[in-house]
Amino acid sequence: MKAIALVACIGMSGAYFAQEQNHLKGTEFESSPNSIEKVAESRQLMTLDVAVYPNPSQGNLFVEGQNGAKVTVYSIEGTYVGTWEIGESGKVELTDLPQGSFVCSINFQEQRTMKKFIVL
């Protein structure tokens, strides 16, 4: 009886595989060795290189990145804290933040990144 159940499972498995092959018949997609590299290049261009330090912080926190980028800070619960702009020095100093965990969203033109930090 156990052998019959095993054969039935194998038979069903083969039928499912055949259905998948039939489903994909006529489907054409272009694949090349460079397609993965192109996706990786696009992804890399869309993120900013930003440093948030010191982390954890005692109250003064620096966000270093592209001049003119907007830094928006939210508490870990999602409460809006404020928005700052990175100046000519390439840094913005965040002071007077209460203790807790925060997330900052840094946006510059079409690029965006998010960083998490802690204020002790």
Domain boundaries, the chain: 48-119
pTM for the predicted model, two decimal places: 0.60
Q: Quick one: CA dihedral 81, 86, 90, 92, positive or negative? A: negative
User: Is 99 in a helix, a strand, or coil?
Assistant: coil
pLDDT digits (tens, 9 = 90+) for 68-120: 999 999 999 999 999 999 998 888 888 888 899 999 999 998 889 999 999 99
d(CA 103, CA 25): 47
User: With 50 as the cut, is the pLDDT of residue 15 above it?
Assistant: no
User: With 60 as the cut, is the pLDDT of residue 43 above it?
Assistant: no
* Sheet architecture: strand order including 70-75: 80-85, 70-75, 100-108, 111-119
pLDDT of residue 8: 45
Q: What share of the chain is helix, strand, coil (3-state, %, to 5)?
A: 30, 35, 35
Superfamily of structural domain 48-119: Immunoglobulins (2.60.40.10)
| Unique residue bearing structure tokens 């100046």 | 87
pLDDT of residue 92: 86
Q: Which residues pair with 102 in a beta bridge?
A: 75, 117
Return all residues near 21 (Cβ < 8 A) that are at least 6 apart. none
